[in-house]
């Protein structure tokens, strides 16, 4: 299959979130499954700086700009990457979407409309590049216009649109739609209009042959008002075309058996060595060194989505228990401030590290006994997978990818089934009760260890998810008339 994978972020060329990780690891896994998959993304400054030996393979012209298409390989892989090089729009320092003071670039509608126009050129094989595409896999709002524009053509590749986080939709003023000269009939609620505004994501949701998202539970949740951001009816209407596939993780980077960022490597057979990592973590963060005290870790963007309010509301109670808390994160300043205040009052109980620190993230996964992730919504989530792999039992809310990967230990069946602890509801009381349950299990070593082994036995590599995507691609192709471009 010839698959064009359209995305606005790919690790390590450019990353603001989980989309970048998926855009790197899924194409890699599909290449291993013998598919010809090529990534297309805007040539941001950071992308150009890192793309070695890029070669011009085509050129085109849109909205008065001369555009070069450059090709390189994704660093460390054999995956081809096409870069849409329009310096006036993409060759800027910093974040791909925001300027230096954190506001959206004023010309984002133009930037991403142009990107989509070029994706369409490649998809329809209109350039000298000469590659016949069977399927275009679009990702998030930045690629939403592609299925809409392709729908105008009788002979076109099949399209799949993946939602990585519905909270981001690419919504702009109505005028932007008309300034871009888009076909007028697309201006309707069945097209790109959203309450008299111009919505990029609706292009994907209305016109793609199929829609997917990053967990089966999130696929259900986004059909409800609580998680649908006003798009729930549209998504419900397309229910038959909507599926959820869990993201995989990079099992080489996140492997407690080989992890160079932790002090003592361990696996299922040498689980006892995990406690050495706990000691190292306690030492590093100036917490009392105590092998017997349970440690709860948290690594997170400090934003509302991640349930930081639930933790803060329960913290006065939590801190009374015999436990230690280790938090690593950055984000909204009011959360940072409150957590630092608590850490100052209870330095023997709570260590807070503000910032982004890859090594510490690995050390927290290895050195903690539990991992806190009480998200209000979570399309997929990665940290619960890392925690499971490191035998660090996750304490989570039953949302999205968390609900699909963490199995609550209820203790009812007698047997130690389960791999973590799930809150009955999204409240601070439920968080407290669930932490109490986890603490009780911690003091029953046999059950505790059984749960750790359950957690570590699971396979969250991309292998099985990539196969699911491949099946989905095949399904879309079967439904869609064979490409003739
Ligand atoms: P999201 O994409 O919503 O932020 P995920 O759980 O899907 O949440 O992925 C977050 C990723 O970012 C994980 O790999 C996590 O370890 C990492 N991460 C988040 N905050 C930090 C931090 N402060 N330091 C190091 N890694 C972090």
Ligand 1 and 322: CB distance under 6 A: no
Same domain (yes/no): 6, 103: yes
- What mean pLDDT is reported for the chain? 95
Same domain (yes/no): 431, 330: yes
CA of 356 to the centre of ligand 1 (A): 9
Kindly state whether residue 79 falls inside one of the protein's structural domains: yes
Same domain (yes/no): 209, 296: no
Ligand 1 and 383: CB distance under 6 A: yes
Same domain (yes/no): 468, 343: no
Question: 246, 241, 248, 244: which is closest to 475 by C-alpha?
Answer: 241
Same domain (yes/no): 435, 469: no
Same domain (yes/no): 285, 240: no
Does the pLDDT value for residue 335 go beyond 90? yes
CA of 35 to the centre of ligand 1 (A): 29
Same domain (yes/no): 167, 236: yes
pLDDT at 411: 81
Same domain (yes/no): 42, 149: yes
Report which ligand 1 atom has the smallest distance to the Cα of 384: 6
Report which ligand 1 atom has the smallest distance to the Cα of 355: 23
- When pLDDT is averaged across residues 303-311 and rounded to a whole number, the result is 97
How far apart, in Å, do the first and last CA atoms of the chain sit?
14
Stated pTM of the model: 0.94
Cα angle for residues 412, 415, 417 (degrees, 5° grid): 85
Burial label for 135, CB within 10 Å (0-12, 13-18, 19+), is buried
Cα angle for residues 360, 298, 317 (degrees, 5° grid): 135
27-59 pLDDT, tens per residue? 999 999 999 999 999 999 999 999 989 999 999
- CB-based contact 351:343 (threshold 8 Å): yes
- CB-based contact 294:443 (threshold 8 Å): no
Same domain (yes/no): 444, 467: no
258-285 pLDDT, tens per residue? 999 999 999 999 999 999 999 999 999 9
388-408 pLDDT, tens per residue? 999 999 999 999 999 999 999
Kindly state whether residue 368 falls inside one of the protein's structural domains: yes
Ligand 1 and 17: CB distance under 6 A: yes
Kindly state whether residue 256 falls inside one of the protein's structural domains: no
CA of 62 to the centre of ligand 1 (A): 36
107-152 pLDDT, tens per residue? 999 999 999 999 999 999 999 999 999 999 999 999 999 999 999 9
How many angstroms separate the most distant Cα atoms in the chain?
A: 70
Report which ligand 1 atom has the smallest distance to the Cα of 401: 7
343-366 pLDDT, tens per residue? 999 999 999 999 989 999 999 999
In the numeric block, the tokens 């099992």 are attached to 251
Same domain (yes/no): 155, 302: no
Ligand 1 and 376: CB distance under 6 A: no
Kindly state whether residue 254 falls inside one of the protein's structural domains: no
> What sign does the dihedral 197-218-383-37 (CA atoms) show?
negative
Q: Which domain holds residue 27?
A: 2-248+463-479
Confidence label for 102 from pLDDT (cuts 50, 70 and 90) = confident
Question: 392, 433, 440, 420: which is closest to 310 by C-alpha?
Answer: 433
What is the edge-to-edge ordering of all strands in the sheet holding 171-172? Answer: 171-172, 197-199, 193-194
Kindly state whether residue 316 falls inside one of the protein's structural domains: yes
CA of 299 to the centre of ligand 1 (A): 6
Same domain (yes/no): 286, 433: yes
In CATH, what number is assigned to the domain containing residue 468? 3.40.50.2000
Same domain (yes/no): 357, 239: no
Report which ligand 1 atom has the smallest distance to the Cα of 380: 7
Ligand 1 and 10: CB distance under 6 A: no
Confidence label for 484 from pLDDT (cuts 50, 70 and 90) = very low
Kindly state whether residue 276 falls inside one of the protein's structural domains: yes
Count of the separate structural domains present in the chain: 2
pLDDT at 485: 45
Kindly state whether residue 214 falls inside one of the protein's structural domains: yes
Kindly state whether residue 484 falls inside one of the protein's structural domains: no
Task: Name the residue at shortest CA distance from atom 9 of ligand 1.
Answer: 382
Ligand 1 and 15: CB distance under 6 A: no
Q: Which of 356, 378, 384, 397 to mutate to test the pocket of ligand 1 (most atoms within 8 A of CB)?
A: 356
Ligand 1 and 68: CB distance under 6 A: no
């Amino acid at each position: 299959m010839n698959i064009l994978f359209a995305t606005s972020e790919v690790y390590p060329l450019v990353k603001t979130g989980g989309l970048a990780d998926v855009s790197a690891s899924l194409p890699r896994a599909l290449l291993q499954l013998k598919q010809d998959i090529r990534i297309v993304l805007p040539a941001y400054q950071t992308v150009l700086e890192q793309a070695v030996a890029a070669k011009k393979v085509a050129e085109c012209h849109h909205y008065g700009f001369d555009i070069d298409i450059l090709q390189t390989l994704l660093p460390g892989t054999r995956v081809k990457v096409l870069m849409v090089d329009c310096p006036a729009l993409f060759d800027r320092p910093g974040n791909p979407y925001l300027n230096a003071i954190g506001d959206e670039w004023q010309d984002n509608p133009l930037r991403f409309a142009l990107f989509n126009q070029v994706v369409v050129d490649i998809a329809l094989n209109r350039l000298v590049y000469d590659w016949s595409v069977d399927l275009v896999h679009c990702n998030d709002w930045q690629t939403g216009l592609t299925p809409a524009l392709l729908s105008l053509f009788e002979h076109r590749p099949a399209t799949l649109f993946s939602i990585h986080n519905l909270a981001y939709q690419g919504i702009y003023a109505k005028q932007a739609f008309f300034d871009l000269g888009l076909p007028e009939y697309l201006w309707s609620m069945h097209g790109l209009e959203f309450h008299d505004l111009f919505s990029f994501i609706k292009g994907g949701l209305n016109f793609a042959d199929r829609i997917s998202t990053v967990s089966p539970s999130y696929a259900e949740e986004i059909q409800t008002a609580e998680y649908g951001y006003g798009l729930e009816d549209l998504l419900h209407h397309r229910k038959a075309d909507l599926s959820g596939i869990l993201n995989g993780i990079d099992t080489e980077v996140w492997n407690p058996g080989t992890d160079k960022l932790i002090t003592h490597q361990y696996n299922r057979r040498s689980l006892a060595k995990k406690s050495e990592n706990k000691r190292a973590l306690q030492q590093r963060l100036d917490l009392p060194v105590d092998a017997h005290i349970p440690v709860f870790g948290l690594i997170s963007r400090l934003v509302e989505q991640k349930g930081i309010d639930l933790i803060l509301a329960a913290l006065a109670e939590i801190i009374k228990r015999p436990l230690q808390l280790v938090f690593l994160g950055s984000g909204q300043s009011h959360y940072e401030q409150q957590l630092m205040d608590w850490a100052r009052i209870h330095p023997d109980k709570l260590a807070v590290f503000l910032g982004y620190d890859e090594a510490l993230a690995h050390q927290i996964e290895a050195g903690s006994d539990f991992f806190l992730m009480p998200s209000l919504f979570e399309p997929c989530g990665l940290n619960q997978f890392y925690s499971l792999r490191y035998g660090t039992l996750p304490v989570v809310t039953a949302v999205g990818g968390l609900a699909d990967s963490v199995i609550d230990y209820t203790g009812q069946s007698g047997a130690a089934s389960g791999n973590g602890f799930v809150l009955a509801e999204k409240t601070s009381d439920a968080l407290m009760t669930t932490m109490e349950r986890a603490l009780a299990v911690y003091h029953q070593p046999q059950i505790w260890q059984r749960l750790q082994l359950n957690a570590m036995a699971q396979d969250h590599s991309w292998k099985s998810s990539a196969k699911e995507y491949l099946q989905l691609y095949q399904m879309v192709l079967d439904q869609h008339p064979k490409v003739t471009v």
